[in-house]
Amino acid sequence: MMADANKGYVGPIPPGKKIKIVFVIGGPGSGKGTQCSKIVNQFGYTHLSAGDLLREEVKSNTEQGTMIQNFMHEGKLVPSDVSVRLLLKAMLASGNDKFLIDGFPRDEENREAYEKIINIDPEFVLLIDCSREEMERRILHRNQGRDDDNMDTIRRRFQVFEESTLPVIQHYEKMGKLRRVDGTRNPDMVFEDVKAIFEQLNTQANQVSIAQTNPFKRWFLHLCCGCFDMQDKRD
Ligand SMILES: Nc1ncnc2c1ncn2[C@@H]1O[C@H](COP(=O)(O)OP(=O)(O)OP(=O)(O)O)[C@@H](O)[C@H]1O
Ligand SMILES: Nc1ccn([C@@H]2O[C@H](COP(=O)(O)O)[C@@H](O)[C@H]2O)c(=O)n1
């Protein structure tokens, strides 16, 4: 039971502190970063983009930075232990207890490394669904000077999404953790659906905390909405 006792706790984060993780995934240019900024403003999460953390590391001019740059230039996935450790470091530095992890996990290896190193079950996985033509159009108009926003690399990034990320999506779908939104509409319309998903999570969390603190309300909630059995998995 030792491993279970540590499950969910990241390094010096005190045991008992509840950490909320939401993964945000979708194809390249589907609007993950755009929706994450809106979620941060409204719901107070810390936004950690795996791609941004890797781009920051490239700027460090270290051997690891050069290795990362080569992978990114080819549109390939950087070895998972590198991206997971960058995420862990950023989580520890943030002081927040709610994280949006954007662009992660991108493949089964990412997911397994996360489960080995961080191992906090995501509350849910938000999938921003978008057609390939629309994603391509957005990336080609993005104009942020990204080294990987060129046609050759974009093609490779789409291939990685279709071959490696789809199995991760299927995994979370089977677990009942996937929340899919139609990302082809304008950003505010997409956010309406995203907002509803986060509000539902808050409502569930409130019901659980009321249920845990007050036996009468616990019984009452049981009668009203059957949430008596809802348990925080990490308790
Ligand atoms: N719903 C939308 N409708 C139209 N344009 C959008 C929408 N969402 C984002 N965009 C634009 O499309 C481009 C890509 O968006 P964004 O960077 O948020 O996508 P992403 O999924 O994070 O991309 P990547 O995976 O390549 O980092 C940006 O220029 C952004 O302004
Ligand atoms: N889990 C990840 C995420 C990203 N990468 C690399 O970064 C590139 C850009 O990612 P964006 O999310 O910013 O589009 C991506 O093409 C990969 O090269 C990664 O390796 N692992």
* Model ipTM over 0.95: yes
Q: In the predicted model, is pLDDT for residue 220 greater than 60? A: no
Query: Ligand 1 centre from 207 Cα, in Å?
Result: 34
Amino acid letter at 6? N
Model pLDDT for residues 182-212, shown as the tens digit of each residue: 999 999 999 999 999 999 998 887 777 666 6
Tokens of 58: 């490239």
Sheet holding 46-49, edge to edge: 46-49, 98-102, 20-26, 124-129, 178-182
- 231, exposed or middle or buried, with CB in 10 Å at 0-12, 13-18, 19+? exposed
In this structure, is the dihedral angle defined by the CA atoms of residues 32, 127, 194 and 137, taken in order, positive or negative? positive
Q: How much distance in Å is there from the Cα of 156 to the middle of ligand 1?
A: 18
Residue whose CB lies within 8 A of the most ligand 1 atoms, among 34, 100, 129, 130, for a mutation test: 34
Cα 180 to middle of ligand 1, angstroms = 16
Identify the CA nearest to 206 among candidates 167, 232, 188: 232
pTM: 0.87
Distance CA 128, CA 117 (A): 26
26-52: pLDDT as tens digits: 999 999 999 999 999 999 999 999 999
Task: Give the other-Cβ count within 10 Å of 111's Cβ.
Answer: 19
Nearest atom (ligand 1) to Cα of 185: 1
Where are the strands (E) in 38-97, listed by range? 46-49
Is the pLDDT at 224 greater than 90, yes or no?
no
CB 110 within 8 A of CB 104: yes
Instruction: Return the residue matching tokens 């080819």.
Output: 74
